[in-house]
Structure 1
Amino acid sequence: MKYILVSGGVISGIGKGVIASSLGTLMKSCGLRVTSIKIDPYLNIDAGTFSPYEHGEVFVLDDGGEVDLDLGNYERFMDVTLHQDNNITTGKIYQHVIQKERRGDYLGKTVQDTVDGDELEPEVCIVELGGTVGDIEGMPFVEAFRQFQFRVGRENFCSIHVSLIPQPKATGEQKTKPTQASIRELRGLGLQPDFIACRSLTPLSNEVQEKVSMFCHVPFNKVLCVHDCASVYHVPLLLANQDVITLLGEQLKLQYRTSHRSALNRWKELAYRFENATRNVQIALVGKYTKLEDSYISVMKALFHAGLACNCKVQITRIEADDLEVETQEKSPVTYHEAWQKLCKSNGVLVPGGFGSRGCEGKITAAKWARENNIPYLGVCLGLQMAVVEFGRNVLGWKNSHSQEFEEDMKKENPMIIEMPEHNTGQMGGTMRLGSRKTLFKTEESVMWHLYNKVEFVQERHRHRYEVNPQFVKDLETKGMKFVGHSEDGERMEIMELKGHPYFVGVQYHPEYLSRPMKPAAPYLGLILAATGKLSSFITNGCRMSPRNEHFDLEYSDTEEDLPDLTSSPS
C-alpha cells in the first residue's frame, strides 16, 4: 500500500479536499486502485448532528455513514464508493479505545493516543488531515504520521503540504513567509513534506517558486502552483501539467497500468463545457441554510453536473424559505418581495432536505407556486414531503394537512407525513433511515423511469425519519399525484410525479449524493431539461442529447480533441 498524506497550513478552507481528490483522480487514471481517508480532529463520533451553518452539509455514504462533506468530493472526483471507516474522527477513535478498554482487551496496558494503519485492498490511499498544522487537536495525528512513515517505509509514504501564498492588494507581491513558517512548524513536528502545493490567486512566478524551494527544503519541480481557476474541474489538469504523475510514480515506485491521457481528456472536455455553455438557466433553491454555500454543496454540484450535460450554465438563486412566508414574516416587506421576485424569475424550483419547522411554510408556498404555474419542480426528501402537504391542503381540501415533525397535534389526527415506526428516539445521531436503499418502479408511465433508462429499480441513498403516510396515497393518486416508485416492501413512497405537469417530481432519497461530473443524477437532469424546455425531446430521443452542435451528448469522448489549454491562466 502507498500512502499520500495531504496536510494544510496557514489557513483552513484553501482546497485540501479538492487537491486530495484530484491526486486520487490522477492515480486512478493510471489504472491504480485508489481510496481516500479524511481525518477530522474533532471529538464528535460523526458529522450526523452538525449544524449546516457550522460545518456545511452532512454527506451520507452507501453504508449509512454520516461524514464530512470532503468525502463527497472524493466520491465525485474519483467515482468511487467509500464507507464510514473512510472518515476518522478523534471521537470515533476514543469511543473505540474506551469500548475495548471496558471489555478488558488491553489487559491492563497503557493506551497511547496514536493512529494505526491497517492494510487495505486499494493500492494507493490518499489521506487528508483536517484543519491546519499547529492546531492543538490535530497534534496526535501529526505524531502518528511521524511514526507511521517509518513503519511503512519512506518508499511507501509521501507528504504533500497545501499552503497559502497571499498576494496583498497594496503591493501585488506574492508573499512566501506564511508558507515558510508553516513548513518550519511541520518539520519541527517530524514531518518533511515531499511536495508543497501553493494556493495562490495567480500563477506563481519562477522567483517565488525558487524561494519556496530554497527556504522550505523542497526541490523546485515539487513546488506545485495551484492558482485560482474558473472551476474545480481544472485542478486535475493543473497538477498533471506540472508532471505530478511522473514525480509521484518515481517517489512511490508506482507501476502504472494505463495511460492517463484519455481520462484527462474527459476532464478537459468537462472544463471546456463549463466555460463555454451557450445558455443560462435560473434555478431557485428554496432552503433553510442558504447563507452558507457548503450547506447544500452536493445539491449545487448535482445541478452543475446536470447543466454540463445539457450544455447549460446553471445559475442558482438561493432563497431563504421563511422569506416567502406571509403570516410569520418578521423581516421587512422588502425582504419578502425580493424573495418572491427571485422565485418568479426562475426557470425551475428546487426544494432540498432539511429539519425543523422553520421555513416549512415557505417551502410549501414554493411548491404551490410551481404546481399552479407549471414551473419545473424537484423536491428532495423534505421537499417531497412539503409538496405532498401542499397538495393535500389545496387540491384535496384538507386544510389541516401537515407533518408530524412540525405539528404535535398531528400525532393525534391523521397526518400526511408520519414518523417511521423504526425511528429510535432514545438518542441523538445515527437514528434515521440511512444509506443505500432499493426503490422499485411501480409503472412504466413515468418520466423518472425514462430518465433512469427504464430500469426495474434504482439504488439511492437516504437520510430521513419521516415518510408519506401510506393511508392517504390512494386519495392523492386519485387527484393526479402519482407515486411511481416504492420501497421493496411497498410501504414507503419513494418517487412522486404530478400527472399533467411539465415536471413536478419529488424523491424521498437524496440523488445528489451519487451525482458525478460525467454522470448526472437523473432527477436533477430532468429538472434542468424541463427548465430549458428540452425534456420531451430528450425522452423522445431515447434519453440522449440531440447530435446537433448546440447540444452535447451525455457520453464523454475518450479521444484527444483540439481543445485550448484551460490551466494556463486564472479566472
Structure 2
Amino acid sequence: MKYILVTGGVISGIGKGIIASSIGTILKSCGLRVTAIKIDPYINIDAGTFSPYEHGEVFVLNDGGEVDLDLGNYERFLDINLYKDNNITTGKIYQHVINKERRGDFMGNTVQVVPHITDAIQEWVMNQAKVPVEASKEQPQVCVIELGGTIGDIEGMAFVEAFRQFQFKAKRENFCNIHVSLVPQPSSTGEQKTKPTQNSVRALRGLGLSPDLIICRSSMPVEMAVKEKISMFCHVNPEQVICIQDVYSTYQVPVLLEEQGVVKYFQERLHLPTGDSASNLLYKWKNMAERYEKLQKTCSIALVGKYTKLLDCYASVFKALEHSALAINHKLNLMYIDSIDLEPITESEDPVKFHEAWQKLCKGPGWGFEPATLGVRGWRLSRLSYRRRALRIGICLGMQLAVIEFARNCLNMEDAHSTEFEPNTLVPLVIDMPEYIPGNLGGTMRLGMRRTVFRTENSLLRKIYGDVPFIEERHRHRYEVNPSMINRFEHSDLRFVGQDVDGERMEILELANHPYFVGVQFHPEFSSRPLKPSPPYLGLLLAATGNLNAFVQQGCKLSA
C-alpha cells in the first residue's frame, strides 16, 4: 500500500481537498486503484450536527455517514463510493480509545496521547486504506490522506505525530508528504511572497515531516525566481515545487498537476506500477476542462435556501447543476436567494431585499428550493404557487414545502402545515418519522442509500433516470409527507410517482401538465458526477434550456 499525506500551511481553505482529489484522479487515470481519507481534527464525532456556516454542507455517504464536504470532492473526482470511516475525527479516535480503556484492553496501563492515540490513528488509517471502494472488491493500491487544518494547529498535533511515526512504519518507498501552501501577492507591492511558505515548511519539518512536494497556491502563476527561492529555502529540488494558480474551473487542476510532472515523480518516488502516460480518463478531464472554458451559452438557475451567504453550504447542489449544465454545453449562472428575503414585506428585515429577491427569482427560467431541515426561518413560500409554470425542483424540505404549498392553494387545505414548524397544527401534512429520537441530533435521521420504487410508468423522472423500475439515492431527513393524508391528493394534478419499497413513504412528486415541477425527498446531488450528472438536476437544466422534450423523445440519452 502506498500512502500520500496532504498537509496544509499558512491558512486553511486554499484547496487541499481539490489537490488531494486531483492527485487521486491522476493516479486512477494511470490504472491504479485509489482510495481517500479525510482527517478532521475537531472533537465532534462527525459533521452531522454542524451548522453549515461552520464547515459548509454535510455530505452524506451510501452507508449513512455524515461527513466533511471534502469527501464529496473525492467521490466526484475519483467516481468512487467511500464509507463513514474514511472520515476520521479526533472525536472518533478518542471515543475508540476510551471504549478500549473501559473494556480493560490496556491492562491497567496509563492511557496517553503517545502511544495510544497515535497508535489508534495509524491503525485506523491502515485498516481503512485496505477497504475496497470499487465494484471489483480489490484492495486499493494508493491511499490519499488529507489532514485538515494547518500545520501548527494545536488540535492537529496528535495526527502530525502519528504520521511522523507512520512514515517509518510504512517505509520511505511507500509514504510521501505533499504540503500545500499559500504564496500571497500583496497589492501594495505586487510581489509574490515566499516567507509564509518557508515558515510553514520549517514548522512541518520541526515536527518531523519533510515535504516531498510543495504545491504553491497563488492567485497568479508563480514566477520561476519565486519557485527557485522556495526550492532553496525549503530543502527540495525545483521540480518538487508545483504551482497551481487560481483557475477557471477545478476541472483544470488535475491537468495542471499532470503537466508539471506529478505522475513521473510518483513513479520514481513511490515505485508505482504505472504506464508511461495517463489513460483515456485523464483525456476526458482535459476535454471537459477545455469545453468548460469555451462554453458560450448560459443557463440561469435560482437556488432558494437558508444558508446562501456561504456558497459551500450547497456545494453538492452547485456541482450537480454544474455537471448538468456542462453535459448540455451551457455555462451555469447560479443565483443564490436567501429564503427569508422572499417572506412578505411586513416580516422581512429589509423590504429592498424582498423586492430584489423576487426580481432575481423571476429572472431564472428554473429554480430549486433546498433549505436545511432544521429551524423555522424562511419556510413560507406560498407566493410561489402564482408562478405555476415556473420550472422547479424541490429537494428534501423543498419537496415537503411543495406539498404544503399545493395543498393550501389548490386543495383548500388552508391549515396544512409541518409539525417541524407547528407541532400542534390542525392539518399535519408533514410529520416526524418514527426513527427520529427527540433530544438526540447525532445520527438519528433517515440516512444513506435507500431504494425508491416508481409506482407508474408515466413518470417524467422515471424516463430521465433511464426508464428503470426503481432507483437508489441518498437520504438525510427527519420529516416526511404524512402517508395517512395522501388520499387527499388522489384526484389532483400532484402525483406521488415514487415511494419507498413498502409504499409508505412519499419519495418523488410530479405536477401533471407542467413543463417541469418535481420534488424528491432524497438528495440526488450527492451521487452526481462530472461525467454522470444527476438525473433530476439534468432534467431541470434541460427544461430551462428548452431541450427536455427533445431529450425525452430521443430516449433520454445525451449526445456525445
Shorter chain as denominator, the TM-score bin is over 0.9
- 1:278 counterpart (281, 293, 296): 296
Matches within 5 A, 1:457-476: 457-476=470-489
Equivalent residue, structure 1, for 2:518: 505
Aligned partner of 1:449: which letter?
R
Aligned length: 541
Separation in 1, partners of 2:198, 2:345: 56
Equivalent residue, structure 1, for 2:94: 94
Equivalent residue, structure 2, for 1:23: 23
Shift of 1:426: 4.4
Equivalent residue, structure 2, for 1:35: 35
Aligned partner of 1:503: which letter?
Y
- 1:317 counterpart (335, 346, 359): 335
Query: What is the aligned-residue RMSD (CA, Å)?
Result: 1.2
Aligned partner of 2:458: which letter?
E
**Which is worse superposed, 254-263 or 60-69?**
254-263
Normalised to the residue count of structure 1, the TM-score between the two structures is: 0.93
Equivalent residue, structure 1, for 2:406: 391
Shift of 1:170: 1.8
1:180-239 alpha-carbon deviations (Å, 9 max, x no partner): 000000000000000000001111121111111111001111100111110000000000
1:74-111 alpha-carbon deviations (Å, 9 max, x no partner): 00000010000000000111111111111112221233
Separation in 2, partners of 1:461, 1:232: 25
Percent of aligned positions that are identical: 60
Secondary structure of 1:178 counterpart:
helix
Secondary structure of 2:368 counterpart:
strand
Separation in 1, partners of 2:179, 2:334: 33
Separation in 2, partners of 1:259, 1:309: 26
- 1:376 counterpart (386, 391, 394): 391
Equivalent residue, structure 2, for 1:269: 287
Equivalent residue, structure 1, for 2:269: 251
Equivalent residue, structure 1, for 2:45: 45
Shift of 1:327: 6.0
Separation in 2, partners of 1:477, 1:182: 64
Separation in 1, partners of 2:351, 2:16: 42
Secondary structure of 1:128 counterpart:
strand
Separation in 2, partners of 1:169, 1:351: 39
Secondary structure of 2:449 counterpart:
strand
Equivalent residue, structure 2, for 1:172: 190
Equivalent residue, structure 2, for 1:562: none
Preserved CA contact (<8 Å) 2:323 2:531: yes
Equivalent residue, structure 2, for 1:409: 424
Distance 1:61 1:258, change over 3 A: farther
Secondary structure of 2:476 counterpart:
strand
1:387-423 alpha-carbon deviations (Å, 9 max, x no partner): 000011000000001101000212xx44111111122
1:357 aligns with 2:376: yes
Separation in 1, partners of 2:227, 2:490: 65
Aligned partner of 2:196: which letter?
P
Preserved CA contact (<8 Å) 2:178 2:211: yes
Equivalent residue, structure 1, for 2:133: none
Equivalent residue, structure 1, for 2:136: none
Shift of 1:365: 3.4
Unaligned runs of 5+ in 2: 131-138
Shift of 1:477: 3.4
Aligned partner of 1:67: which letter?
V
1:113-168 alpha-carbon deviations (Å, 9 max, x no partner): 21223241311000000000000110111000000000010100010000001111
Equivalent residue, structure 1, for 2:77: 77
Shift of 1:465: 0.8
Secondary structure of 2:290 counterpart:
helix
Unaligned runs of 5+ in 1: 546-552, 556-571
Secondary structure of 2:376 counterpart:
coil
Aligned partner of 1:325: which letter?
E
Separation in 2, partners of 1:261, 1:168: 40
Equivalent residue, structure 2, for 1:523: 536
Equivalent residue, structure 2, for 1:549: none
1:486 aligns with 2:499: yes
Aligned partner of 1:400: which letter?
D
Separation in 1, partners of 2:268, 2:490: 63
Equivalent residue, structure 1, for 2:232: 214
Separation in 1, partners of 2:411, 2:275: 61
Secondary structure of 2:417 counterpart:
coil
